[in-house]
Amino acid sequence: MKVTQEFTINLNTPAVLIPLLSSSIQNIIIVDQQSSPLIYEILNEELVINTLNATSILIEYDTAGITTREGPIWTLSLNSTYSLTVLLPEGATIIFLNTVPLAITTDQGKNILVMPNGFIEFSYILPLTIQQTPSTLEDPEITPVVIPQENLTNRAEPTLDSNSQTFLTLPLIAGIFFIIIIIIMVSKRRIEKKKVDQQPQLSHDDLEVLKFIEESGGKALELNIRKKLIIPKSSSWRLVRRLERLGYVKVTKVGIQNEIELIRKKS
């Protein structure tokens, strides 16, 4: 994953301090407006850059610490000191958000989320596209909007104008292996659907989910189910979808959360 950040600074600013978007980085390149390399050091997950006589800074580095993948589910997770504008791939479906976006817009069929600063985590799935060559699936493009902090003691902060922007591109490439996974999941879904009327075997986690929903008055948020079972959101998502296919629950969208309603008790 390649991170690129661009800043406009005051010519007389001797140094700036830029928070990193990940603690795991490599291949750092920092240059000024004339493509001349700048001296820097990393202190506590922040870049301290000597910028005297520079009017702009270009920062590039690689990181693998922001996105993860579990089956068809991609998850973006990071802690940012500034707000982020997230451009999702075309056709991407969000299945989890840990916080309400500041704004939601679209651009050429792609959803754009403006996320607040702080801890950000959301998961999404991408549509399956079969072409003559292995398909390339886009990852979100993130544009952090840097909000400078002023009057801090013992460290120099960036002086940024209103045109300062940060661009973060997260390329994800999925090929034949991804297509095979989807085919297996579709086949499994069809098999499980045929077993609905044959009293299918429920796993321990299935029974725990049904028990929790029943004890919660017949309805529960998927978020609370995940907290109760102490499982990843991707696992709770699969459990709920399986129970829905088997006819035990109904899933209803309530805001950005999924409400799970018990419609058939376990035998």
Domain ranges for the chain, please list them: 1-176, 200-262
* Average pLDDT over every residue of 58-75: 85
Q: Could you tell me the pLDDT band of residue 183, with boundaries at 50, 70 and 90?
A: low
Helix (H) or strand (E) holding 243: helix 233-245
Of 18-22, 97-101, 122-126, the least confident: 18-22
Number of Cβ atoms within 10 Å of the Cβ of 30 = 21
Q: What is the mean pLDDT of residues 243-250?
A: 91
Please state whether beta strands 46-50 and 40-43 pair in parallel, antiparallel, or not at all (unpaired): antiparallel
HSE-CB of 193 using CA atoms within 13 angstroms: 7
Q: Is the pLDDT of residue 205 over 70?
A: yes
- Cα–Cα dist 27/232, whole Å: 32
Read off the pLDDT band of 65 (50, 70, 90).
Answer: confident
**Band (251; pLDDT cuts 50, 70, 90):** very high
CB distance 250 to 263 below 8 Å: yes
119 CB burial (10 A radius; 0-12, 13-18, 19+) = exposed
Alpha carbon distance 203, 72 (integer Å): 22
Q: How confident is the model at residue 218 (pLDDT cuts 50, 70, 90)?
A: very high
Q: Does pLDDT of 261 surpass 90?
A: yes
- In which band, very low, low, confident or very high, does the pLDDT at 188 lie, cut at 50, 70 and 90? low
Reduce the DSSP state of residue 112 to 3 states and report it: strand
Q: If you average pLDDT over residues 201-209, what whole number do you get?
A: 87
- Do residues 156 and 13 make contact, with C-beta atoms less than 8 angstroms apart? yes
Residue 179: its pLDDT value, please? 54
Query: What is the value of pTM for the model shown?
Result: 0.45
Q: What is the mean pLDDT of residues 205-234?
A: 90
Q: Assess whether pLDDT exceeds 60 at residue 141.
A: no
For 142-168, what is the mean pLDDT?
39
Q: Where are the beta strands (DSSP E) in the chain?
A: 2-8, 15-19, 25-31, 40-43, 46-50, 56-63, 67-70, 73-80, 83-87, 93-97, 103-107, 110-115, 118-125, 141-145, 165-169, 219-221, 249-254, 257-262
Residue 74 or residue 138, greater confidence: 74
CA 219 to centroid of chain Cα atoms: 27
Task: Dig out the tokens for 131 from the structure.
Answer: 């072409």
| Whether residue 146 has pLDDT greater than 60 | no
> Which amino acid appears at position 47 of this protein?
L
Give me the mean pLDDT over the 212-216 stretch.
92
Residue range 200-262 forms a domain whose CATH class is mainly alpha
pLDDT of residue 165: 38
**Chain segment 78-109, per-residue pLDDT in tens:** 888 778 788 888 888 899 888 889 998 888 77
Reported as a pLDDT band with limits 50, 70 and 90, residue 189 is low
Integer Cα distance of 168 and 81 in angstroms? 15
Q: What is the pLDDT of residue 259?
A: 93
Residue 62, pLDDT above cutoff 70: yes
The pair of three-digit structure tokens given for residue 62, joined into one six-digit string: 């690689």
What's the whole-number average pLDDT of the chain? 75
